[in-house]
Amino acid sequence: MSAISSAGWAVVGGVITALVAATLVRPALTVCGAPAGRWPRMMSVIGLVLGAALAYSMSEFQCQATPVVLPDPFSQDLRILFHAVCLGLLLVITATDLVTLYIPDFVVHLGIVIGITAATASGQLQIEHVWVDWNEVIKDLRGPYIPEWLKHSQHWHGLAWSSAGALVGAVLTAVIRKVAEFALGRPAMGAGDVTLMAMVGAFLGWQATVIAFFLAPVLALALGPLARRISAEKAVPYGPFLALGAIVVMFAWRWIWMFEIEIGTAGPLGVDDRMTTFAVRRLFGDWVLLLGLSVVSIGGTAGLMGLMRLFWTLPIERERVTSEPVSPDSPPVG
C-alpha cells in the first residue's frame, strides 16, 4: 500500500507532466523553426490536468493492473512517475507536430533513453511481461504461460521488455509507412512517426504499442477535423493521433488487455477455452495468429492507400477536399 494517497499522486503526476511539457516545448519548437507562442503555457495546463488524471487513475482505479504483473509497492509508485514523464513527452511531440509537422529527434531520443534505462534499472515497470501466453490457460488448473527466466532476471526482463517495445514500435510504423508510400505514390507518414512509436514502445512495451498504433487511425478519423483547425499547417499531422493512442492505452490498459467476449458455448475447459471466448490478450501469445494479422493489416493498408491514390487521379475539383490525412508535399520529420 502506497504511503501517498491517490489525491497526493494526482498532484505529483500533474506537476511532473506539466514540468516536462513546460521545459521542453519551447526548445522543441525552436529546433523546428517555430516561435513558442502560447504553446508552452497551454501544454503545461493540459499536462497538469492529464498528468493528475492519469496518476489518480493508476493509484485509485488500478487502471494498468493485470493478473500476472505484480510489481512491489515501490515499483507501482515508480510506474506512476515513469508514465507521467512519458505523458509529458507525448504532449511536447503533439505541440511540435501540430505547429510544424516536425517531431524533433532530441525529444524522442531522450524518451527512448529514459524508457529503456528506467525499465532496466527497476525491472518492474512493465504493464505486461515481454512474453505471456494466455492461450495456455486451463480454468482451475493452470494460468498463462510465462517463461521461467522472467521471474529470476527482473533487470534483464526490464531491458528486454522496453527494447522489444521500441523495436516493434519502430519496425511496425516503418513497414506501414513504406507500404503506404508505395501504394499512394508519395509520403504518407513522416520519419518522426517511426521514432515516436519507438519511444512509445520503450515506455509501454510491444503489446501496448501495437494496440496504440491501431487505435491511432480510429482517433484520426474522429478528431482529424479538429486537429486540422488547430494545426498551423495545411496538412493534418499524424503524430498527435499516435500520441493520443498511447495515452488512451495508458488510461485504459487494464480494460483493454482483459477485454473478452464469449463466442460460443463453454466446453469442457470452461469459459477460458480459446475456442469459446475471444480475448485481446490471447492474440499476443500466438505467433502464427500475430503473423497472419500483420499480413492482413499490411495488405489492408496497401489496399486502402491504393484506393486513395485512385481517388486522387479522378478529375474532380481538389479545392473541395479540405481535410487531407497527409500533405502531398509534407517534408519527412524527425
Report the predicted TM-score, pTM, of the whole model to 2 decimal places.
Answer: 0.87
Residue 334 has pLDDT above 90, yes or no: no
Tell me if 325 is assigned to some domain: no
Confidence band, pLDDT 50/70/90 cuts, at residue 96: very high
pLDDT of residue 151: 82
**Three cell numbers at 100?**
510544424
3-state DSSP assignment of residue 138? strand
Q: What is the pLDDT of residues 183-196, one digit of tens each?
A: 777 777 889 999 99
CA dihedral angle for residue 234, residue 238, residue 243, residue 249, rounded to 10 degrees: 130
pLDDT of residue 318: 44
Planar angle of CA 138, 212, 204, nearest 5 degrees: 75
Confidence band, pLDDT 50/70/90 cuts, at residue 67: very high
Tell me if 331 is assigned to some domain: no
Q: Is 123 left (phi over 0), alpha (psi -120 to 50) or beta?
A: left
> What letter does residue 123 receive in the DSSP assignment?
S
Return the residue matching grid coordinates 507536430. Answer: 97
pLDDT of residue 326: 44
Confidence band, pLDDT 50/70/90 cuts, at residue 331: very low
The domain of 185 spans: 6-320
Confidence band, pLDDT 50/70/90 cuts, at residue 262: confident
Residue 122 has pLDDT above 60, yes or no: yes
Q: Could you tell me which of 212, 18, 28, 198 has the C-alpha nearest to residue 116?
A: 198
CA dihedral angle for residue 247, residue 253, residue 256, residue 258, rounded to 10 degrees: 180
pLDDT of residue 228: 67
Tell me if 330 is assigned to some domain: no
Mean pLDDT (the chain, rounded):
86
Confidence band, pLDDT 50/70/90 cuts, at residue 297: confident
User: Stretch 237-249: mean pLDDT, rounded?
Assistant: 94
Residue 319 has pLDDT above 70, yes or no: no
pLDDT of residue 208: 96
Confidence band, pLDDT 50/70/90 cuts, at residue 311: low
Task: Spell out a b/e string for 198-235, using b for 16 or more CB atoms within 10 Å of the CB, else e.
Answer: bbbbbbbbbbbbbbbbebbbebbeeebeebbeebeeeb
Residue 30 has pLDDT above 70, yes or no: yes
User: Stretch 160-168: mean pLDDT, rounded?
Assistant: 97
User: Stretch 58-68: mean pLDDT, rounded?
Assistant: 95
Q: Give 91: exposed, middle or buried? Use CB within 10 Å, 0-12, 13-18, 19+.
A: buried
Q: What is the pLDDT of residues 34-54, one digit of tens each?
A: 999 999 999 999 999 999 999
Q: Where are the alpha helices (DSSP H) in 129-268?
A: 149-152, 154-184, 191-204, 206-230, 239-257
User: Stretch 282-295: mean pLDDT, rounded?
Assistant: 83
Residue 157 has pLDDT above 50, yes or no: yes
**d(C-alpha 35, C-alpha 95), whole Å:** 12
Tell me if 334 is assigned to some domain: no
Total structural domains within the chain? 1
Tell me if 328 is assigned to some domain: no
pLDDT cut 70: percent of the chain above it: 83
Tell me if 326 is assigned to some domain: no
